[in-house]
Amino acid sequence: MGCAKSTPKGEASVNPPRDALEILTDGQKDLLRTSWEAFRTEYVLTDGIQIYIHLFTVDPSAATLFSFVEEVSIEHLLTNEQLFGHVWSLLEYLDMAITHLDDLHYLRREAFDLGVRHSIYGVRNEQFQVSR
């Protein structure tokens, strides 16, 4: 998730200056809110599942991190109720992020905590690139 930036000395920097977080214009925030509203009402769960089908196809080792994924086949994934539940958690997280676009300091703390939890789950940094 790229939560902590390295300084030249290699130290973690978790409190950058405020300006560093003022990275979205009001127009960009509006665009995010509008597109998220359309996405979550029209495509929400099926597109969420597609993210995981893509992730597990490109990187099968990612599937082993999920206790409820027994096999990486389209049939299994599309009928896996626990995976749907997981997709719902992901979508709720994204909804929270959109709701707090005006408070990037809060979002940064949330993202940092999520990154810590994912590190505990065993997710490697490069695996986040696949889900982009």
Which residues, in sequence order, are bridge partners of residue 5? 13
The reply on whether position 128 binds ligand HEM by CB under 6 A is: yes
Site string for ligand HEM, 64-93 (x = CB under 6 A): -xxx------------------x--xx--x
At closest approach, how far in Å is the CB of 30 from ligand HEM? 22
**Residues ≥6 apart with Cβ < 8 Å to 87:** 45, 48, 49, 51, 52
Region from 2-10, 12-20, 29-37, 59-67 binding ligand HEM, contact rule CB under 6 A = 59-67
**Whether the Cβ atoms of residue 49 and residue 84 lie closer than 8 Å to each other:** yes
Which residues contact ligand HEM by CB under 6 A?
62, 65-67, 86, 89-90, 93, 114, 117-118, 121, 123, 127-128, 131
